[in-house]
Amino acid sequence: MARQATKKTAKAPAKRATAAKTTRAKKAPAKAAKSNLVVSDEVAIDITNMDKWYGDFHVLKGIDLKVMKGERIVVCGPSGSGKSTMIRCINRLEEHQSGRIEVDGIELTNDLKKIDEIRREVGMVFQHFNLFPHLTILENCTLAPIWVRKMPKAEAEEVAMEYLTKVRIPEQANKYPGQLSGGQQQRVAIARSLCMSPRIMLFDEPTSALDPEMIKEVLDVMVDLAETGMTMIVVTHEMGFARQVANRVIFMDEGQIIEQNEPETFFTKPKHERTKLFLSQILH
Amino acid sequence: MSNSTLSFVRTTMEVAKAPPASTVGVVGWMRKNLFSSWINTALTLFAIYLVWIIVPPILDFTIFNATWTADDREGCLAGGHGACWAYVEAKFGQFIYGRYPVEERWRVNIVFAIMAIGTVTLAIPSVPYKKWNAIFMLVIFPILAFFLLVGGYFGLHHVETPLWGGLLVTLVVAITGIVVSLPLGVLFALGRRSEMPVVRMVSIIFIEFWRGVPLITVLFMASVMLPLFLPEGVTFDKLMRVLIGVALFSAAYMAEVVRGGLQAIGKGQYEGAQALGLPYWKTMNLIILPQALKLVIPGIVNTFIGLFKDTTLVLIVGLFDLLGAIQLSFTDPKWSTPMTSHTGYVFAAFGFFIFCFSMSRYSIFMENRLHTGHKR
């Protein structure tokens, strides 16, 4: 069963790459020849010259990042490099102090309505799952569709069961989060985000808090999700996942983007010294 | 030889066996809990001794030597040195209704009955129509109770609040305090954690002011000082003033209890809710408060119980609650015996204990019911 899943997912990126190449060939032949950076010409997230400080501490320095619709980006880097802070700025869990962030064409400002609008479209999966322990799995999944999207309860439950089936735990629907294993909880968290039918998914170290045996079940779900064409930004140190799924890998250090490239080149021919050092530390 | 120690392969699985007889059942329980060591054994024997010297005199006073029927003090004096329950029976109406006119007491009874039925059905989880029941108890019942108890309308004889007394006053003060203080306390707790400076300042000042003064001062201020500040001719019912004072006072305590619960909820819960696009009030109502309030159920009920017993302080501003009514009855020469006050206080303690202990048990029941497995 597990082997099958790997096989299936291993094939998928190759297929996608050829598909992407053909579409790109028509639109922008000159650029496309260099890399498979461009998946669509629609911009999903546009960050320009963004800075953030925690008090006096300059955490993010002049971040520029343009994410196209359907792109799957893996962000890596040493701890404290600002990876999480950067993706948390995208749905305003952290406030940036200067520069510009545009998500789905909406600029992030202090306007609470716009922030809520963006949060409805951007799903987020956290390191510690952040499930609501007082609600059942099903209630966790239907809460936001019912209260934010004003979906009728029956419909919300139907949608929730559909996504719980996709993450392969429909039978846990009436349990509480505390009764599930870490891997199962994280899959519920993914399903919960998907129930809001987001256009963009952010993953903040989704497998870092899991036992080794459970990492794969979560990554498998994420691979499935990538195959649906979801725009994803994933902060992770799972380099296998990056190779398999990402079409761009970003390396950050000291609050800056140090290097970015398509995974193959990134892992085999890193250019910046810091990247080389980092990769040599984590790829034994 | 070395081979056999290094490698081992299990060929048959062990079958689960029953535990040794001395570790289970009554004997096992006693061994483990009462006589596990010589200190434990000594403490067990000491406890048995304490029970032996305390319990029999209590039973003698309350049951074996007690006078159950008598027409006046003579009967109780003849009965010896036990409790004079005949006196409690004779004064029972006064303990419950105070000086509420006898022919109007049916109104109080109706209010008590509705309250008992409403509260019990609300408290039992399996009874349906919770929402309507709650609306009835929180909106319709207080209005109904007000008109029934105060009167003056619909042909009901007006009963002034100075005539109210006994358990009636205790319950009116305690229940108003409980019902008003919880929502108000939640608001001030949220206010104190608000990011808006004005809201936070107002909440902090409110909480610190009311926590900083003793309840007796609040009651004195309400009944003695307040009329001095009000313009001439404007009067405010004394019971009403006490109710407001008690409600605000306990709201401040409640706010701090609830704030304790709010602080125990991790940042992740807020972020999880925010990331789903839930706005502030929905995040609070659906995610944060249900968890925070559940955590502080013991603290909330503690405050309720404290408030219930603090109602006895209204005596000092001239209102006679259950304890006040009982103390007042000591002065009646018809029932004056050496045992009267003892009996009265035992009865008062018993009355308060029933209410407080019920609240305590119900809180434990709710805690268990709302428990949803391990918390991360």
Query: DSSP letter string over B155-188?
Result: TPPP--GGGB-HHHHHHHHHHHHHHHHHHHHHHH
Residues of B in contact with A147 (CB under 8 A): 278, 282, 286
Query: What is the predicted pLDDT for the residue at A34?
Result: 31
Instruction: Give the C-alpha separation, A206 to B342, whole Å.
Output: 67
Nearest CB partner across the interface for B373, out of A126, A179, A193: A179
Best CA proximity match to A248, nearest among A45, A103, A59: A45
Report whether pLDDT(A111) > 90: no
**How is residue B32 written in tokens?**
């483990």
Is the pLDDT assigned to residue B112 strictly greater than 70? yes
Residues of A in contact with B279 (CB under 8 A): 112, 116
Instruction: Give the model's confidence band at B375: pLDDT under 50 very low, under 70 low, under 90 confident, else very high.
Output: very low
Q: Answer whether residue A57 shows pLDDT above 80.
A: yes
Judge: A120–B277 Cβ closer than 8 Å, yes or no. yes
Q: Give B-chain residues touching A193 at CB under 8 angstroms.
A: 275-276
Confirm whether pTM is higher than 0.90: no
Q: Which residues pair with A98 in a beta bridge?
A: A51
- The span from the CA of B306 to the CA of B52, in Å, is 31
Contact B373 A176 (CB under 8 A): yes
pLDDT exceeds 90 at position B221: no
Spatial CA neighbour of A235 closest among A274, A209, A199: A209
- Residues of chain A with C-beta less than 8 angstroms from the C-beta of B376: 128-129, 131, 133, 177-178
Tell me what pLDDT residue A150 has.
93
pLDDT(A6) > 80: no
- Chain-chain contact of A93 with B373 (C-beta, under 8 angstroms): no
The CATH number of B73-369, from 1.10.357.10, 3.40.50.450, 1.10.3720.10, 2.60.120.620, is 1.10.3720.10
Q: Is the pLDDT of residue A245 over 50?
A: yes
Q: Could you tell me which residue, A7 or B274, shows the higher pLDDT? A: B274
Residue A256: pLDDT band (50, 70, 90) is: very high
How confident is the model over B24-51, as a mean pLDDT? 88
Q: What is the pLDDT of residue A39?
A: 63
Higher pLDDT, A125 or A26: A125
Confidence of residue A90 (pLDDT cuts 50, 70, 90): very high
Is the confidence at residue A25, as pLDDT, over 80?
no
Interface A–B counts its CB contacts (< 8 A) at 76
Q: Is the pLDDT of residue B68 over 70?
A: yes
Average pLDDT of chain B?
A: 86
The rounded percent of chain A whose pLDDT value lies above 70 is 86
Please report the pLDDT score of residue B65 as a whole number: 81
Give me the pLDDT at residue B104, please: 83
B25 pLDDT more than 70 = yes
Averaged over A208-217, what is the pLDDT?
90
**pLDDT tens digit sequence for B190-214:** 999 998 999 999 999 999 999 999 9
| A64 three-state secondary structure | strand
pLDDT recorded at residue A15:
43
Q: What is the pLDDT of residue B281?
A: 92
- In sequence order, what are the residues at sequence separation of 6 or more whose Cβ sits closer than 8 angstroms to the Cβ of residue A84? A204, A205, A235
Residue A98 has pLDDT above 60, yes or no: yes
**What span, in angstroms and rounded, lies between the C-alpha atoms of B272 and B277?**
9
**Chain A residue with minimal CA distance to B370?**
A134
Percent of chain B with pLDDT over 90: 34
pLDDT-derived band at A22 (thresholds 50, 70, 90) equals very low
In Å, the largest CA–CA distance within chain A is 55
C-alpha distances (whole Å) from A219 to each of A5, A84, A128, A222, A227 are 11, 18, 15, 5, 12
- Output the CA torsion sign for B289, B291, B294, B300: negative
Verify whether the Cβ–Cβ distance A148 to B278 is below 8 Å: yes
Q: Where are the domains of chain B?
A: 22-64, 73-369
Q: Which residues of chain B have a CB within 8 Å of the CB of A177?
A: 373, 376
Q: Which site among A132, A196, A199, A208 would you substitute to test the B interface, given the most B Cβ atoms closer than 10 Å to its Cβ?
A: A132
Mean pLDDT of B49-76: 86
> What does the pLDDT read at residue B4?
57
Report d(CA A211, CA A228) in Å as an integer: 27
Distance CA A235, CA A86 (A): 10
Return the residue matching tokens 């790829």: A283
Higher pLDDT residue, B81 or A206?
Answer: A206
Sheet containing A43-54, strands listed edge to edge, beginning at the edge strand earlier in sequence: A57-68, A43-54, A98-103, A106-107
Q: Mean per-residue pLDDT for A226-248?
A: 92
Between residues B188 and B64, the one the model is more confident about: B188
Q: Are B245 and B283 in contact (CB under 8 A)?
A: no
pLDDT at A74 over 60: yes
Partner residues linked to A47 by β-bridges = A65, A101
Cα separation, A34 vs B224, whole angstroms: 87
Is A148:B276 a contact under the CB 8 Å cutoff?
yes
- Read off the pLDDT band of B3 (50, 70, 90): low
